[in-house]
Amino acid sequence: MTDCCAKLGQKLGCVRKPTLSDRKVYVGNKPLPGEDVAVLHTQRFPNNRVISSKYTLLNFLPKNLFEQFRRIANFYFLCVGIVQLIIDTPVTPITSIAPLVFVVSVTAIKQGYEDYLRHRADNEVNNRTTQVIRDGEIMEIRSKKIKVGDIVMVEKNQEFPCDLVMLSSCDEEGQCYITTANLDGETNLKLNSSFIFIGCAIYTGPETKMALNSKNKVTKFSQVERAMNTFLIIFLVVLLIESLTCTILKYVFVNRSSVKDKLWYLPDMDKESELTALRAIETFLSFMVLFNYFIPISMYVTVEIQKFIGSLYFNWDIDMYDEKMDQPAKANTSDLNEELGQVEYLFTDKTGTLTENEMQFRECSISGDQYMEVDNILVEKRPGQIHGKPVTSMTKKMEDFFTVLALCHTVRVDHPRSHLSEKASDRVYDHSGMDYEYQSSSPDEKAFLEACRRYGIVLHGIHDDRLEVTFMGEMRRYKLLHVLEFDPTRKRMSVIIQNEQDEIYLLCKGAESAILDRVTPRLKEATLQHVTDYALLGLRTLVLARRLLTSDQYSEIDRRLHQARNSLDSREVMLEEVFEFIERDLDLLGATAVEDKLQDDVPDTIQSLQKSGIKVWVLTGDKEETAVNISYSAGHFKQGFAELRVTQMASSLQCSEVMARLKSIKDHAPTDQPFVLIVDGASLRFAVKDHADLLRSLCQSCVAVLCCRMSPLQKAEVVKLIKNSKDCPVTAAIGDGANDVSMIQEAHVGLGIMGKEGRQAVRNSDYAFAKFRFLKRAILVHGNFYYTRLANLVQYFFYKNVAFITAQLFYTFFSGFSQQTIYDVMFLAMYNITFTSLPIFIYSLFEQTLSQKELLQNPRLYKKNARNAALSFKSFVKWNFLGLWHSAVFFFGVYFLVGNDISIFSDGKSSGGWAFGTVLFTTVVAGVNFKLVIMTYTWNLPMFLAYLIAILGNLAMTLFYSGIRMPLILDLQNYYYVFYETMSSVLVWLGIILLVVLALLPDLIIRVFNDISKTLEDSNLRGPTLDRLTMSVTKRSGKLTLSQIDILSDQEDSVEIPNLTYL
């Protein structure tokens, strides 16, 4: 029975199939000699079907309904509908059930369509043609038909259909190079030309590594959605209070003797006045049903559709289309559109996000001498000379330096002219190397090899287990013995090679902080100074070193490496220890400087965001000097900003003391002096762990923050630090690589750049585009439009329901608390669905309170929506106070017009309760729609058509409903021909016009006042630009960074300086 339930749950998608801890796979699904065929069926493996969809035909209805009724509004209306079916309520159950069915149906259709797209994408993958070898023959099957044990053939640029163990490849070295874009986002390594790979399927479908490591995105909720839920709870509380109050007042009213005497003609008066627990509950529930239209059920489906269409605007924005990459902007979700208009903190990566991620070799330091590239020629830099001396021949030291660049890497060399039919001895060489294509996971390594190629040092790749390099046409071969892979903790990589003279060298390159402590003192000071100079120019730097190994040393290293790599326990720890043992006593060779150019319009974008009130933080793995220089060139830092540094901290105590000192300096500085903070990864580790509150306070007091030497996890920690602060600011994170995914997922809004480091960041982002400059438009234009439109839509929905149903509360006092409805059933059911829905929906798609040009030219306008201003409690009260005012004017105006036996007809006929409700409803509908007219700034064809369709459609529907008798469907006798008779009176139309004008007079005054205030405020927001400022600071002896402030000389004096770079 248990197995049957588990299988049923797996079929419905509710239970995940268990994964076997170990397995025995038969290659080709053939048993070993002497084994029976039955052994193939001892283990059951899943098929290779990829499933990313959410629903199936079997579980769609129950699963979707369960998810929808978790919403408060939907569940509430379901309960109300059930109550109406159980007890005798004043209105038919259709008034609650019909809107609920409409909302649930539309939402189900939308979610079903989205899941259909996922099914279609899955089918595209599952039905992809794949070649397998079965019974000695090559067969083409669909990917979903692959079974564990199948022998699979994969050609160049094809995706692996499942997890495979390599059996063979056409590569002469027996190797296979792949791109792992669908795993980690990196796309630099590729399969080589005419490549064929043969492997055995080991894991399929849900058991593949990608499926097991994949996870759903963290569910994010916008500030607007949170405000909607808060307002909904407020309305539910008000509803309960109103229902309870009316219940109490009813029994007080009907038990008065004077009332009983006046209502003697009612047959059930004694029963009505009898108070029991059951009758009190029934009365309370009846009032809840009567007032439940306070809750705008259709608001949720309107919001969902509005967001969905709004996300299409993002995709269709031609101004965010990049022609060079042929990439339009992409919205991966529609749930967070309005959050783009609420961003307070932006966390951005540097490489590939602010820069082009196209590395160009610019300068280098070799044995203390500096060289630079000019017009693809290596030139020696000499002090006092403007033009350097071109290098015509390389010295031994230069050859040693470039040997490290040519050999210390993981680059793949593609030979376009090579073919599978060629023999190894017939291999074609291009001694210039210009026909070769270098494929690398590191753009720096590719830049190094391309520079070497320009200088006559050409890497030809691996042949006969040897790395082949030509130096000025002379072929040299090296045996690659070991590769010590790069990792972000070590910040370096190494290779061990053997040259043709049987000399064994360890070649190493990495960050200066990871290399200089491991080298001999010679050249250390000069090289460090050159590295600092390069960093100040904004160049990326690496230090190169090597070590000559004796045969005994190499034997020991080889033994320990094999032992560590073959270890099943603590493998990573053992490798780290071995790497530490190997990478020491190095001979320093020099340093490199590579340029990564800024993208177009980066300074303008950052400065516009800063003017809009967004604090921009740069989080990068680059060294401090490089990152600071880029911050200045990118406009992140400006001249006149005072720098505060928390760097090179050696302990938690030192970190705390320095941050406290900096906070004191900041607090005692002039209020108009802007500060920026620079923090490195090592110091951040202490600060986040032990002094998070102090760090947060210091960071938030600065106009900009730069974090350098950061690991991916630290990026996410910094975002979380600000995200979870007391005032809960809205955060956004933007990056282009797999190392940015953690911070993109952590931030409220994740933004991906379609750069050169794969698509992992894009896939995990909420919104993506090709260039950083598009961020300005995404936030200042789309963010403003999304937020303003949706906030007004939400407030309008609550307002119009208050204006509509509060009249029912007023009427209760005139109807003896009898639960008599003032509106007809059709009006109650269709008010939110048809009578008042289309204009506000079109408004939410096209309204532009400010033009795109204004928003881009004046970024300070973005501040007006900060902290969810349009949905603040103050704004909520204002909207609903106007709703109460409108409802009071409409109800008592109509009561004055048709009440007290006043005839509205020329023949003197009296009007009844249904006529009263008809006039009141028509006035309410006209009033709430004309309020939207007053709100609207953008009048275009869709807006005019919305009102035209609403007027004509609602009129036609009401005429049809009032003029046709359908007793078999509903009891419509009460309202038959009422609309025709009532609205035939000129007095009624005149009264409606006067009441609407009276009610909307305050709205008109507010609109005029807001427009005048807006004009004045906009001119003030454009205010003067920030000039260069000065401040009085403490000067200590020597050139000191703030990280040294508490441990150096106490001699000080006060001076005036324009830019506080060092204290």
Catalytic residues: 349
Are 999 and 891 within 8 A, CB to CB?
no
Nearest residue to 664 via CA among 701, 714, 621, 618:
701
Integer Cα distance of 1018 and 828 in angstroms: 43
The residue count of the chain comes to 1063
Range 761-800 burial, b when 16+ CB lie within 10 A, else e: bbbbbbbbbbbbbbbbbbbbbbbbbbbbbbbbbbbbbbbb
C-beta neighbour count of 1009 within 10 angstroms: 10
The H or E element spanning position 733 is strand 731-735
Integer Cα distance of 419 and 193 in angstroms: 8
Long-range CB contacts (< 8 A, 24+ apart) of 984-990? Answer: 984/905, 985/904, 985/905, 985/906, 987/897, 987/904, 988/897, 988/898, 988/904, 988/919
Nearest residue to 697 via CA among 730, 670, 673, 675:
675
Beta bridge partners of 541: 593
Q: Which token pair is 593?
A: 């400087």
Nearest residue to 707 via CA among 685, 731, 681:
681
What is the 3-class SS of 12-63, one letter each residue?
A: HCCCCCCCCCCCCCCHHHCCCCCCCHHHHHCCCCCCCCCCCCCCCCCCHHHH
N-terminal to C-terminal alpha carbon distance within the chain? 76
Q: Which residue in this structure is represented by tokens 């070193």? A: 545
How distant, in Å, are the alpha carbons of 541, 621, 852 from that of 528?
11, 19, 49
Nearest residue to 315 via CA among 302, 303, 300, 327:
327
Indicate the SS3 state at residue 587. strand
DSSP string, 670-698: -TT--EEEEEEHHHHHHHHHH-HHHHHHH
Indicate the SS3 state at residue 735. strand
Integer Cα distance of 331 and 314 in angstroms: 6
Range 1024-1059 burial, b when 16+ CB lie within 10 A, else e: eeeeeeebebeebeeebbbbbbeeeeeeeeeeeeee
Q: Which token pair is 392?
A: 């015509």
Residues 6+ apart with CB under 8 A from 527: 365, 368, 512, 516, 543, 588, 590, 591
Kindly state the greatest CA–CA separation across the chain: 122
Q: Which token pair is 771?
A: 């260039």
Strand order in the sheet with 474-487: 389-390, 377-380, 369-374, 355-366, 587-598, 540-549, 504-510, 492-498, 474-487, 466-471, 457-463
Range 230-247 burial, b when 16+ CB lie within 10 A, else e: ebbeebbeebeebbeebb
Nearest residue to 923 via CA among 940, 898, 941:
898
Q: Which residue in this structure is represented by tokens 């001895």? A: 425
Residues 6+ apart with CB under 8 A from 498: 478, 479, 481, 504, 505
